[in-house]
A and B are shown apart, each in its own frame.
Chain A
Amino acid sequence: MTRLAPYLLVAAFIALFIAPWPVPAVLALILALPVPAAPLALGLAFDALYGPPGLLPLATLLGAFATLAALLVRRRLLPGIMAA
């Protein structure tokens, strides 16, 4: 998955422009573990492109939440799996 991550990242950024929003959202979730900052970055780009001024940046907030969750998983679960 780490080898595919750069290609999926490029696909996710391109999907922001050519695909309905669930597509980059799903790609962001897939990329969350190999690239923890991907959901936050995609959320930031999403709100920068489409977010109306004055409105809550929902995509950024959800991306930040997904990034935090991914970091937690990487810190707690992956070392446990590797130790096992």
Chain B
Amino acid sequence: MRTRTWQRSKCSPAALLSGVVLGVALLVFAARLVAPGLLLAGVAPLFTAGNALARASSGFFSAFGNTAALAAKNRTLAQANATLELENEALRQKAADLGALIGTSTPATPGITATVLARPPMAPYDTLILGSGSEAGITASMEAYGPAGTPLGLVESATGGFARVRLFTAPGVVTDAWVGSTRVPVTLHGAGAGAFSATVSQGSGIAVGDLVYLPGPPAGGGATPVARVAHIEGTASDPAATLAIASLVNASSLAWVVVRPAPPGVLLMPPASGSATTTAP
């Protein structure tokens, strides 16, 4: 009996599948190089579906919690939120009064609110993919801010409808900052997963729990707390101590960010080694 052409073919199912999947992946890679905006426009519905699925699953699993305990926790959080709102308003008014008295008040630069389509841990490399791009006014080197004006990172690239933000916690990113009430200058090295590391000299007076500050949004009041010292490694006999620093903002839960021009002096400058560096003014 004559065998058919496809029966004579020596192409195994594994080789066929390998070829197909490699072809698809190369197509996606080529799209990223040639038309990155088109690629993101094509996959944006998948990101949206993923976010909706995450919200739905969160609601589903929370239904198994103790209702009474959740209600009590809700009341406590609502009271704490109301107190914080009052304190915030008082501080805002105080800052406005001082600015009017000194005569140095500057109107806040309006920002561009952008939806976060993909965030860690779905998007590794500590990057955010935003649902707004150059059409909304977002350009490279602008700064992204999270809740309460917390600086998060710099815009790396922007296409028509999308933008990529590289967080300050991304590996390879180096940022100048201040630590503690005495504003000890440090250099933060991104360690990934919302963490930084920094090296300071012994006797600098930095303790666990000290806040780490970056320049905040223009006219936002100067230094803004972005992280907290979680652990200090090193003994008293060592000349230097290594700080393990945790970001205050959980990038995994970001739903939106505000993008504004970066404060003067904060630039994304790739040094000779190839890693990115941001320098505070």
Q: Is the CB of B21 within 8 A of A37?
A: yes
A17 CA to B127 CA, complexed, in Å: 14
- Residues of A in contact with B, size category: 35 or more
What is the CB-to-nearest-CB distance from B101 to chain A, in angstroms, rounded to a whole number? 45
Q: Is the CB of B123 within 8 A of A40?
A: no
Q: Is B234 an interface residue (CB 8 A)?
A: no
Find B125's partner among A13, A22, A48, A51 (CB 8 Å cutoff).
Answer: A51
Number of interface residues of B (CB under 8 A): 38
Q: Is B184 an interface residue (CB 8 A)?
A: no
Q: Is B156 an interface residue (CB 8 A)?
A: yes
Q: Is B50 an interface residue (CB 8 A)?
A: yes
Q: Is B77 an interface residue (CB 8 A)?
A: no
Q: Is B166 an interface residue (CB 8 A)?
A: yes
A3 CA to B46 CA, complexed, in Å: 26
Q: Is the CB of B166 within 8 A of A52?
A: yes
Q: Is the CB of B270 within 8 A of A54?
A: yes
Knowing A35-B18, A44-B28, the reply to whether A18 touches B127 (Cβ < 8 A) is: no
Find A17's partner among B13, B17, B24, B49 (CB 8 Å cutoff).
Answer: B49
A46 CA to B31 CA, complexed, in Å: 13
Collect the chain B residues with CB atoms within 8 Å of residue A58's CB.
125
Quick one: which of A1-20 are within 8 Å of B by CB?
2, 5-6, 9, 13-14, 17-20
What is the CB-to-nearest-CB distance from B89 to chain A, in angstroms, rounded to a whole number? 38
What is the CB-to-nearest-CB distance from B276 to chain A, in angstroms, rounded to a whole number? 8
Knowing A40-B22, A44-B28, the reply to whether A50 touches B123 (Cβ < 8 A) is: yes
A68 CA to B124 CA, complexed, in Å: 24
Q: Is B260 an interface residue (CB 8 A)?
A: no
A59 CA to B120 CA, complexed, in Å: 15
Knowing A9-B17, A20-B121, A55-B125, the reply to whether A44 touches B43 (Cβ < 8 A) is: no
Q: Annotate B46-58 by CB proximity to A: 1 below 8 A, 0 otherwise.
A: 1101100110000
What is the CB-to-nearest-CB distance from B158 to chain A, in angstroms, rounded to a whole number? 12
Q: Is the CB of B18 within 8 A of A38?
A: yes
Q: Annotate B1-34 by CB proximity to A: 1 below 8 A, 0 otherwise.
A: 0000000000001100111011011101101100
Q: Is B174 an interface residue (CB 8 A)?
A: no
Collect the chain B residues with CB atoms within 8 Å of residue A36's CB.
14, 18
Quick one: which of B112-170 are within 8 Å of A by CB?
118, 121-125, 127, 129, 156-157, 164, 166, 170
Q: Is B223 an interface residue (CB 8 A)?
A: no
Collect the chain A residues with CB atoms within 8 Å of residue B49's CB.
17-18
Partner-A contacts on B (CB < 8 A): 13-14, 17-19, 21-22, 24-26, 28-29, 31-32, 39, 43, 46-47, 49-50, 53-54, 118, 121-125, 127, 129, 156-157, 164, 166, 170, 172, 270, 274
A and B contact pairs by CB, cutoff 8 A, 17 listed? A6-B17, A14-B46, A17-B43, A17-B47, A19-B50, A20-B122, A34-B14, A34-B17, A36-B18, A37-B19, A38-B21, A40-B25, A41-B18, A45-B24, A49-B123, A51-B125, A52-B156
Chain A to chain B: the 9 pairs with minimum beta-carbon distance, closest first: A18-B50, A37-B18, A41-B25, A17-B46, A44-B25, A20-B121, A48-B32, A41-B21, A48-B29
Partner-B contacts on A (CB < 8 A): 2, 5-6, 9, 13-14, 17-22, 34-38, 40-42, 44-55, 58-59, 74
